[in-house]
Structure 1
Amino acid sequence: MASGNIINFPDPSGRSVFDVDLVADVLVIGGGPAGAWAGLAAARAGARVVVAEKGYLGTSGAQAAAGTGAYYIKPDDPVHREGMIKARMPIAFGFADESWIEKVYDQSFINQDLMSRWGYAFPKTQDGNKERWGGMRAADAVLFLRKQLEKHGVTILDHSPALELLISDGVVAGATGWNRRNGTRWQVRAGAVVLATGGTAFRSGIAGGNNNTGDGYLLAAEAGAHFSGMEFSGQYGIVPKGSACSKTAVYGSATLRDANGEVVSRGKGTTVAEIQTGHVYCKLDKYDDIGRERIQASQPMTFQYFKRYLPLDPFTEEYEVEHILEGTIRASGGIEVGEGASTSVPGLFAAGDTTSREKLVGANQSGAGPATAWALASGSWAGHSATLFARRYGGNVATRKVRAIGTAGLRPTGQVRADLDVNELIRGVQEETLPVAKFYRREGTVMQASLDRIDGLWRDARESLGGDTRLGGADLARSVVRAREAAALIASARLIFTSALERKESRGLQRRADYPVIDEREFSHVVVSGLDQLQVERKAIGGGEVREQARAAS
């Protein structure tokens, strides 16, 4: 298997080298709600489907740990429809598309209605009616979807991260990966691939986010996909100090104070207070008895922390809070997708947090309800579109000549360096992305220094990062996966800082100290592509003509 210190990955056309070798019409990479719905949509359309999930489909990922609901629009209710569509526009900073919002929320209702028909027990309101909005308990909802996938004959590969895509004549044709529990290698040749790997918070500690290392970004970049809105990534959540569950809704009826005892507002006020004074303190003292009961019922993970690790009464006692990066998991940037969740690469579709959500939430955070609605809708669209695309190949899927395109962390251009530590590479990225004082409010010279450092990490990873071939079995598999995770985190940070340097204004989640106001000359999408050399272009809002030709990032 090894030549020197470099893992020798044979040409995937030699199919006997894989422990698990499958053929599918549609391969879905990622098993959160977006991936589950992509698999369901494809299977219900008659496709042979494989879903490859990095963890265990049903419990893995940020969504399963969050306990969030999904926004939707009630059919035949014009007041509700108007309110849901219009409510987001004032905080979208001009980027959201009303027709897009309507399509997403309509599809979200359809999907939740299907879940109800299939037997999912939505919570009920006091009058006994099923309550979807805010009521889809994410952990058991995704597990419920797993059961539906199994009923529809979908093959699920648990604990099996995809490490590289396969290409056939410029068309994405499958993927290969490892099972990190038993060390087996797998290949799936497919007529089309859906990326649903989620966003990344750079392993900040956000609940359920450890597996979200930007894997889909790296896979997409290697295939030549475009990314939009990656500068809209400075999203932080507020948590009890030392906690992981960032549920902003909890703090809607709280008194928040800085280290000097001054009352501050939730959101920007608390973030600035932490940066300037070092500490923020909270007491949930504005809830009445009914409010206390409801917030504890709707946000159980937050209050579980008080019961187990911080034994106090948060409604009467003050405690310290801090900000934790939620990144692109709760922001709006990602892989650029068009109608049917198609990317700029033939055969490659994308859904959920790994995609740009600018047309849904603009330059602001995607939050909980909109993000989950987008996962349901985009997953369904991606699965259906991938099925239609795959039909053109019929029975030729298994016989197409393919090549694997994995790069950094998988196929280094030189010899693997023993001193190139994966954990050190990840810490290097985190030092530039996690600190609220650096990543929340940005400044050009600081960002350029960060990008320069991260570019250096990328060169090291590109040339000398790979799995440890002294290991075998599952240990080898995990070392290869860790190397690819480090490469993906580095690639994600490069996309973000390149985009943030390009947008010379403050708009939504892009906050620049050196350009502190909105500049209408900057009212366009920042689109980045490339791998070793990133290219930047500007696109008009609403799908108009490209304002500038692609150019190398400076």
Structure 2
Amino acid sequence: MTTLDTDVLVVGGGPAATWAALRAAQRGADVVLADKGYCGTSGATASAGTGVWYVPPDPEAREAAMAAREGLGGYLADRRWMGRVLDQTYAQMNELAEVARYPFPTGPDGAPLRTGLQGPEYMRRMRVLVRRAGVRVLDHSPVRELLVDRDGAVAGAVGHRRQEGADYRVRSGAVVLATGGCAFLSKALGCDVNTGDGALFAAEVGAELSGMEFSNAYGIAPEHTSVTKTAFYSYATFSRADGEVLEGAGSARGRSVIARTLLSEKVFCVLDRADEPTRRAMRLAQPNFFLTFDRLGIDPFTQRFAVTLLAEGTVRGTGGIRITGDDCATTVVGLYAAGDAATREPICGGFTGGGSHNAAWAMSSGAWAGAGAAAFALAEGRHRDRPVRAAGGAGLRPTGFGAAPSAAEAIRLVQREVLPYDINYLRHGDRLRAALSELDGVWTALREHAFADGSGAGRLRSAAAMTAHARWMYHSALTRTESRGMAKRLDFPEQDPTQHHRVLSGGLDRVRTWTEAVA
């Protein structure tokens, strides 16, 4: 086993991870970044373009930006955090232009337009910045479990280098988890690396989660494809197979109508509400959105095409690892969280979506987590000498003997309880409880009997992470007996003023939930 010593270990390879690694290195820390894929090319951002919550420092514009989604999020957001993210995002987008030389387009007045990023170019430049800062990048090196010292503080991680076929260990003073959310291998574009691994690692060392009920995000995609860029569907007319307009169906408000209809019949769509200038602008803004149509020989502006909904879980949802400070520290000493792995409730409340707030949160929280982890590790200064132990459980250290499901079988069982619209999207307490009963059985089998090492351990650990994620989601959804943000309950369709709080969760073998007041 290869052993590395460093001040800060960053787990992940997307925007949150690269910003964290960059800021930690700029603070004087020695940094290792370990990515499940190839840093700069894997993940949801690297696969597509994304809007960014970029608002110039004009008081009226900032006020409008903060107020725009407060109601949608169930008034669970925090104005102080929203202001911090707007400030940080504004500075970092300008840094991308000035330092990374990102080629932002210009508007008709010649001013740069910095409200969006093309993911492949953005992440290519972030990899360059990280490497220039001296960060050691471990590509194709999924982390398997965290290390902790005798006091329970996080002290590094163990993983596997797929191309070398060997395990590795990193001893560090602090760890930043920027592993993304969990999309349950639904085939949404760029999300096959997003299996919730970071949340599992965090829970195994005692970290808490927040907002896991806000996890039933589904993106619209052409049938049998993976591109879930939903913004352009605001120009769409949805219809049934016979051409009858599907009343109430829409991208922003009306996705549940599409979901209900898909349970029994196909839904079709045409982007016929976009005029010619808008069509040209759309192709320039999101060229990859149109690749599928061009390959299929479909003009989406004039020809109908069948659509589906793909689960995006906590990638476009809001829940994640609970953070306890401005530096994105967690409830565990030495552990920090950023991006989609962390809860976005401070800026989104109970509702978010693709890009925009998520993209701003990724770069802002990544920067804060990296700087915080560096400050902590450099202040400690003795992490290389402390005894450590591995903290992983399910899939690594079975507690009993017996037949265990394979990783593929466990994933299939989890997907059966999470991907269907009538369980996860159109939620009802009876169906959630039935699904939880099945998920508890999968978890027990993995925890008690499953084992793999080497390259097989990564897949099994991802299956365990998906199972844990689903159980936190449904326990939290059952705790919130109302409809707020994206956490809607068919059996509790109204918002309850007495539940203006956050739902926290934690635990693995026994999941628990409790609430936290919101000012």
Q: Structure 1: how far apart are the matches of 2:259 and 2:426?
A: 12
Who is 2:128 aligned against?
147
Offset at residue 458 of structure 1 (A): 0.5
Instruction: Please show how residues 150-549 of structure 1 align to structure 2 within 5 Å.
Output: 150-168=131-149, 169-259=151-241, 261-264=244-247, 265-267=249-251, 268-276=253-261, 277-308=264-295, 310-338=296-324, 339-394=326-381, 396-415=382-401, 417=403, 420-467=405-452, 477-542=454-519
SS at match of 1:424: helix
**Is the CA contact 2:97–2:103 (under 8 Å) kept in the aligned structure 1?**
yes
Please state how far the C-alpha of 1:182 moved relative to its aligned partner. Answer: 2.2
Identical columns (%)? 43
Deviation at 1:87, TM superposition (A): 1.6
Cα distance change of structure 1 residues 148 and 273 upon mapping to structure 2, 3 Å threshold? closer
Q: CA deviation at 1:354?
A: 0.7
Distance 2:434 2:419 in 1: 15
Distance 1:250 1:227 in 2: 32
Q: Deviations over 1:355-388 (max 9, x none)?
A: 1111111111243110000000000000011111
The 1:137–1:237 alpha-carbon spacing in structure 2 relative to 1, beyond 3 Å, is: same
Q: CA deviation at 1:415?
A: 4.0
* Contact 1:256/1:281, CA 8 A, preserved across alignment: yes
- The answer to which of 176-185 and 254-263 deviates more is 254-263
Counterpart contact for 1:28–1:35, Cα < 8 Å = yes
Letter in 2 for 1:479: G
- Tell me, yes or no, if the aligned pair for 2:53 and 2:359 is still in contact at 8 Å: yes
Seen in structure 2, the aligned counterparts of structure 1 residues 141 and 440 have a Cα distance that, compared at 3 Å, is: same
CA contact (8 A) 1:250 1:299 kept: no
* Aligned match of 1:9: none
| CA offset digits 1:480-504 (Å, max 9, x no partner) | 1111111111111111011111111
AA at the equivalent of 1:414: G
Q: Measure, in 1, the Cα distance between the counterparts of 2:419 and 2:182.
A: 11
Partner of 2:65: 84
Q: Could you say what secondary structure the match of 2:379 adopts?
A: coil
Given candidates 71, 88, 93, the residue that maps to 1:112 is: 93
| Superposition map of 1:86-105 within 5 A | 86-105=67-86
Post-superposition offset of 1:477: 2.8
Given that residues 273 and 279 in structure 1 are in contact (C-alpha distance below 8 angstroms), is that contact kept between their aligned partners in structure 2?
no
Partner Cα separation in structure 1 for residue 511 and residue 424 of structure 2 = 21
Decide whether the 8 Å contact of 2:237 with 2:245 is kept in 1.
no
Q: Secondary structure at the match of 1:23?
A: strand
Structure 2 residue identity aligned to 1:131: L
TM-score by length of 2: 0.96
Partner of residue 12, structure 1: none
8 Å contact kept, 1:49–1:155 = yes
Shift of 1:259: 4.4
How far residue 434 of structure 1 moved from its aligned partner, in angstroms, is 0.5
Is contact 2:240–2:266 with CA below 8 Å preserved after alignment? Answer: yes
Deviation at 1:335, TM superposition (A): 0.6
Letter aligned with residue 317 of structure 1? Q
Runs of 4+ in structure 1 displaced over 4 angstroms? none
Could you tell which deviates more after superposition, 59-68 or 124-133? 124-133
Q: 1:5 corresponds to which residue?
A: none
Q: Which SS does the other structure have where 1:239 is aligned?
A: strand
The equivalences for 1:17-28 within 5 A come to: 18=1, 20-28=2-10
Q: CA deviation at 1:69?
A: 2.6
Query: Post-superposition shift, 1:300?
Result: 1.5
CA distance in 2, matches of 1:358, 1:290: 36
Deviations 1:206-239 (A, max 9, x none): 0000011100010001011111110011111111
> For 2:241 and 2:502, how far apart are their aligned partners in 1?
39
Cα 1:79–1:383, aligned 2, differ >3 Å: closer, same or farther?
same
Q: Does the alignment pair 1:49 with 2:44?
A: no
Q: Distance in 2 between matches of 1:477 and 1:304?
A: 37
The residue type paired with residue 343 of structure 2 is S
- Residue 68 of structure 1 aligns to a residue in which SS? strand
Aligned pair count reads 511
What are the superposed Cα offsets for residues 225-278 of structure 1, whole Å, 9 maximum, x if unpaired?
111110011111111111111111111112111346133331453432442352
Shift of 1:416: 6.7
Counterpart Cα distance in 1 of 2:483 and 2:60: 33
What's the CA shift string for 1:170-200, capped at 9, x where partnerless?
1101001001222111111111000000001
Letter in 1 for 2:298: L
Partner SS, residue 272 of structure 1: helix
Q: Which moved more, 1:39-48 or 1:364-373?
A: 364-373
Alignment partners' CA distance in 2, 1:72 and 1:291:
21
Report the Cα distance in structure 2 between the residues aligned to 1:271 and 1:163, rounded to whole angstroms. 37
Structure 2, gaps ≥5 residues long: none
Q: CA RMSD in A?
A: 1.4
Query: After superposition, what is the alpha-carbon deviation per residue over 1:493-548, rounded to whole angstroms, capped at 9, x for unaligned?
Result: 11101111111111121111111111112221110111211221111013xxxxxx
**In the alignment, residue 333 of structure 1 is paired with which amino acid?**
G
Output the TM-score relative to the length of structure 1.
0.90
Answer yes or no: is the 8 Å Cα contact 2:52–2:359 preserved in 1: yes
> Which one-letter code corresponds to 2:246 in the other structure?
V
Contact kept, 8 Å, 2:228 with 2:310, in 1: the verdict is yes
Secondary structure in structure 2 of the residue aligned to 1:453: helix
Give SS of 1:22's match: strand
Cα deviation, 1:139-165, whole Å, max 9, x if unaligned, reads 211110110111110000000111110
2: distance between equivalents of 1:256 and 1:482?
A: 38
